[in-house]
């Protein structure tokens, strides 16, 4: 009986995990007449965030610091930034965060500064230089994307961990 419960829990776990991977949102949001790409190429929309260079004690440090960046006047698009931060950039590394700023800048980093705050999507109001229908941040504002794998992994880890706890509890009671 106990083993049956454990088996059922495992099957449930597999089913939920499988569904988890297929439910990706594909609807893009509209803001200021601009399209906020919900995500693709391994990145998911994280929000509009403030740049930190003008905060007193950061000594000019960026919200997305320590990685690589690309400035492409006339040519920047959301897709180009995803590719650049997703392994096709100068370092060949894949970054957890990709942020577009000031219509033409792409910033890649492994962490987002705690001093950066999330603001309304409408504050990222500049069209991308390379595609005027897309949102590419704003003046000292970043349209930030997070690597989907990182976001999914965190969710899956907590789910698997809770399954593990249930499993241990069931096993424990078998050998009581
Ligand atoms: C900056 O640092 C100084 C000295 O530590 C502190 O007095 C001040 O409150 C800080 N300002 C901000 C905006 O955090
Ligand atoms: C934009 O891209 C085109 C085509 O790749 C290139 O010829 C042009 O030099 C680029 N412009 C800038 C400012 O980088
Ligand atoms: C420009 O962006 C729109 C909206 O995201 C997209 O549908 C379109 O394919 C893009 N155009 C080009 C040339 O990339």
Say if ligand 3 is within 6 A of residue 136 CB.
no
Say if ligand 2 is within 6 A of residue 74 CB.
yes
Say if ligand 3 is within 6 A of residue 132 CB.
no
125 domain residue, yes or no: yes
For residue 131, which atom of ligand 3 is closest to its CA? 1
79 domain residue, yes or no: yes
28 domain residue, yes or no: no
Q: What ligand has the least distance to the C-alpha of 78? A: 3
Domain range for 140 is 43-148
Count: domains in the chain: 1
The residue nearest atom 4 of ligand 1, judged by CA position, is 57
**pLDDT score for 54:** 87
Considering the chain, what percentage of its residues have pLDDT values greater than 90? 56
Query: Mean pLDDT of all residues in the chain?
Result: 81
Q: How far is the CA of 53 from the centre of ligand 1 (A)?
A: 15
75 domain residue, yes or no: yes
**pLDDT score for 13:** 46
Which of residues 45 and 173 earns the better pLDDT score? 45
Q: What ligand has the least distance to the C-alpha of 57? A: 1
81 domain residue, yes or no: yes
172 domain residue, yes or no: no
pLDDT surpasses 50 at 106: yes
The residue nearest atom 2 of ligand 1, judged by CA position, is 57
Max avg pLDDT among 59-63, 102-106, 147-151, 163-167: 102-106
- Rounded to the nearest angstrom, the gap between the alpha carbon of residue 8 and the centroid of all alpha carbons in its chain is 33
Average pLDDT over residues 74-96: 95
Summarize pLDDT for 14-26 with one digit per residue, the tens: 444 444 443 344 5
Q: How far is the CA of 131 from the centre of ligand 3 (A)?
A: 6
91 domain residue, yes or no: yes
Say if ligand 3 is within 6 A of residue 40 CB.
no
Confidence of residue 171 (pLDDT cuts 50, 70, 90): low
pTM: 0.72
């Amino acid at each position: 009986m106990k083993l049956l419960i454990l088996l059922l829990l495992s099957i449930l776990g597999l089913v939920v995990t499988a569904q988890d991977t297929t439910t990706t949102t594909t609807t893009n949001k509209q803001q200021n007449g601009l399209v906020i790409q919900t995500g693709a190429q391994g990145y998911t929309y994280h929000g509009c965030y403030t740049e930190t260079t003008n905060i007193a004690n950061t000594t000019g440090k960026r919200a997305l610091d320590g990685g690589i960046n690309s400035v492409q006047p006339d040519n920047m698009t959301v897709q180009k930034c995803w590719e650049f931060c997703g392994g096709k950039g100068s370092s060949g590394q894949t970054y957890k965060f990709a942020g577009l700023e000031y219509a033409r800048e792409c910033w890649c980093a492994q962490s987002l500064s705690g001093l950066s705050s999330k603001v309304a999507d409408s504050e990222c109001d500049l069209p991308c230089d390379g595609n005027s229908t897309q949102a590419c941040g704003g003046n000292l504002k970043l349209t930030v994307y997070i690597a989907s794998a990182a976001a999914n992994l965190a969710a899956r880890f907590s789910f698997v961990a809770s399954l593990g706890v249930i499993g241990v509890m069931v096993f424990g009671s078998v050998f009581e």
